[in-house]
Amino acid sequence: MSQVGLDHAASIPQQARPILLSVQELQVWFELRRFGFGHAGYVHAVDGVSFDLAEGEAVAIVGESGCGKSSLMKAILGLYKPTSGRILFQGQDIHQFSKERKRWYHSRVGYVQQDPFGALPPFMPVRRILEEPLIISGVKNKNERMERIRKSMEEVKLSPVEDFIEKYPHMLSGGQQQRVVIARAMITEPKLLVADEPVSMLDASVRVEILKLLRALQERHNLSVIYITHDLSTVSYFSERIFVMYAGRLIEKAPVHRLIDHPAHPYTQALLTGTSEPDARNALSYKEVPPGEPPSLVKPPQGCRFHPRCVRMIGGECDVNEPPEFTVADRHTVSCWLYK
Ligand SMILES: Nc1ncnc2c1ncn2[C@@H]1O[C@H](COP(=O)(O)OP(=O)(O)OP(=O)(O)O)[C@@H](O)[C@H]1O
Ligand SMILES: [Mg+2]
């Protein structure tokens, strides 16, 4: 996708910006029940995730299917309750919020899902889809609501507004539906946007337009963004940092160019060499994941969760002890015993 003119994101020094979101030792486990046997353990979907996100900062999260990316996002959105750990938004624990404060939080955080059609209520016209979050967040004046609906539709390029405002989701193309989802996420003027594979279900022809729109919104509104993707070529366009997730944990965090040029974790290295392009930035996606199966999240391997697939495994260490985070360069950390 880099061939179609997506420029790289400017890197703004992070120290200058206040922290918007702080995820601390987060665990999200799902109880597993077997018919006739009852409790059969837990799926450790998110298992000890920590990171800070600055105001206006965009990060990408990459990792194989089932590693816990969406579960992490849903906990941040307040949809899943953490099993343990905390999520602080502007310093306040989101799972301690009162009902009213929760409503406020939902207006501060926008969500763009992978499947726009599934995300939109089929029996509501665009006007009502966009009006609902405004009503919920307490905008009582009807004229003000209509004004904001028009403005947000224009911002996502659903214009002329009259052509779209009374349409139902099934009357729109996939790209137009995703614009409605983005308008709905943006209409309450959030500080944080969570985009979970926002273009993977769209035609290639509209993907770039939607990514450009998200990038423009991010810059115009100084939004923080968490962008989940399988598409490494768009990561550097969108994000300043990249987090690699494996079996419920963030195993490597680094500025995007640093990670692509100097991947430290054997898993990240395998992801990048698995791409068919010599330059990972031009690779469309990491279709070829490292050899071997992702581990069970019900009984994750002891020690480093990647050790059964790792070509550089150190016996007696990697298969025994969970590696802590080691710093290998400025803002570049990796959870791997090779960097002890
Ligand atoms: N509500 C739930 N109840 C029980 N298990 C769940 C639930 N949601 C997710 N899981 C399990 O948690 C693990 C992580 O799933 P998750 O959807 O977070 O992964 P993902 O990284 O988003 O995958 P993908 O790339 O396929 O979207 C999976 O094993 C999944 O089956
Ligand atoms: Mg997912």
For residue 160, say if its preceding peptide bond is cis, omega within 30 degrees of 0. yes
- Whole-number Å distance between alpha carbons of 151 and 217: 13
- Whole-number Å distance between alpha carbons of 245 and 255: 15
Substitution site in 26, 30, 79 for ligand 1 pocket (most atoms within 8 Å of beta carbon): 30
Residue nearest to atom 10 of ligand 1 (CA): 45
Q: Which residues of the chain have pLDDT under 70?
A: 1-15, 274-289
Residue nearest to atom 5 of ligand 1 (CA): 30
- Whole-number Å distance between alpha carbons of 310 and 303: 12
Substitution site in 31, 39, 49, 69 for ligand 1 pocket (most atoms within 8 Å of beta carbon): 69
At residue 259, what is the residue type?
Answer: L
Residue nearest to atom 7 of ligand 1 (CA): 30
Residue 120 burial (C-beta neighbours within 10 Å; 0-12, 13-18, 19+): buried
Determine phi and psi for 194, rounding to 5 degrees.
-105, 115
- 149 C-alpha vs ligand 1 centroid, how far in Å? 34
Predicted pLDDT of residue 289: 62
Residue nearest to atom 4 of ligand 1 (CA): 30
Residue range 275-315, pLDDT digits in tens: 544 444 444 344 456 777 888 999 999 999 999 999 899 99
Residue nearest to atom 17 of ligand 1 (CA): 70
Residue 108 burial (C-beta neighbours within 10 Å; 0-12, 13-18, 19+): middle
Which tokens in the block code for residue 258?
């640093």
Ligand having the closest approach to the CA of 71: 1
- 94 C-alpha vs ligand 1 centroid, how far in Å? 22
Give the closest residue to 82 by CA, choosing from 73, 52, 332, 90: 73
Superfamily of structural domain 18-339: P-loop containing nucleotide triphosphate hydrolases (3.40.50.300)
Residue range 123-157, pLDDT digits in tens: 999 999 999 999 999 999 999 999 999 999 999 99
Answer yes or no: are the C-beta atoms of 188 and 107 closer than 8 Å: yes
Residue 6 burial (C-beta neighbours within 10 Å; 0-12, 13-18, 19+): middle
Predicted pLDDT of residue 93: 97
Give the closest residue to 248 by CA, choosing from 85, 98, 13: 85
Predicted pLDDT of residue 9: 53
Ligand 1 — pocket residues by CB below 6 A? 30, 43, 45, 65-71, 297
On whether the pTM is more than 0.85, the answer is: yes
Predicted pLDDT of residue 8: 53
Substitution site in 43, 250, 286 for ligand 1 pocket (most atoms within 8 Å of beta carbon): 43
Residue nearest to atom 9 of ligand 1 (CA): 71
